[in-house]
Amino acid sequence: MKPKIEEILDILLREVKRGKSIEDCLKDYPEYVDELEPLLRLATSLQDLPKPEPRQEAVVATLRNVKDAVVEKTQKKIKFSLRKIFRLQPAVIRAVAAVVLVVVLGWTTVTLSAHSLPEDVLYPVKRLTERIQYILTITPEGKAELHIVFAHKRTDEFAQSFEEGEEMNRPLLNAMLNEAQSALKYSESLPEERVKQLVEKIMTCNHHQREILEKIKPLACSSDSPIIDEAINLCAQRHRCIEYTLNPELYREQPSSTCWDQCCDWK
């Protein structure tokens, strides 16, 4: 009997896990290469995702809050017991209830992490969710849209986490500018009719980033001021190049390729 593709995929996943390359695995099933290759690469990408590593202090604080909430509910004598429900119901209902509970808890964790900041315990969950969303997005336009969304998120996180006189979060600054940079690069491969709409969104994001940087500049510590100035200048360069893309008739000559390279360059 000819094996089903699901069975073959299970076999190959085990082989990849043992260290065998995807190319060598596919040699045994040449007739399924087109179907199996993207599935294997997606599976290996998901396996390589970093595991969230919450800070120990945040975990302890969260557990303490949970304990306090449980004590408070117990004192109010709430007549509700998951243990009782699971004990009284048939096995099938208990199994379904367990699945629903896991799904609800997982959904709740992802939802709560949506507004978390880098110092929060759920922030790694937020970034992991974003990375999975990005991996599962196939089209260049979809990836460019996600980079814009992520750029807005990193910008808001940067603004919210900034404290007057304290050293700013430089990795977060890098992330917010690099997300906008990636969106610009993806826009170059899109059809002409879609480029304008995307570039308009990038310009809005770039303007938002420049406003945030100019707002915090007077409040930043002296060691961060040169970096903020550099970031503001980069946003200004991006604005000029993006504006030319949207309104080329306003310019006597097209910005050089060096200009575009400079407007995208951020370490």
What digits encode the pLDDT tens for the residues 141-165? 888 899 999 999 999 999 999 988 8
Q: How many CA atoms lie within 13 A of 31 on its CB side?
A: 5
Which residues are within 8 A (CB) of 206 and not within 5 positions of it... i.e. 6 or more apart? Answer: 180, 235, 238, 239, 242
Name 87's Cβ contacts closer than 8 Å, sequence gap at least 6: none
Name the band, by pLDDT with cuts 50, 70 and 90, for residue 136: confident
Q: Is 258 exposed, middle or buried (0-12, 13-18, 19+ CB in 10 A)?
A: exposed
Q: Are 214 and 168 in contact (CB under 8 A)?
A: no
pLDDT at 120 over 60: yes
User: What is the structure's pLDDT at 141?
Assistant: 87
Highest mean pLDDT among 65-79, 149-163, 181-195: 149-163
How many CA atoms does the CB half-sphere of 56 hold within 13 Å?
0
Q: Which value, to the nearest 10 degrees, does the dihedral of the CA atoms of residues 125, 130, 136, 141 take?
A: 180
Which pair of tokens denotes residue 154? 């990193």
Examine the pLDDT at 44 and tell me if it is beyond 80.
no
Mean pLDDT score of the chain: 75
Lowest mean pLDDT among 73-82, 149-158, 227-236: 73-82
With 80 as the cut, is the pLDDT of residue 4 above it? Answer: no
- Most confidently modeled range among 39-48, 82-91, 151-160, 183-192: 151-160
pLDDT of residue 97: 47
Q: How much is the pLDDT for 102?
A: 43
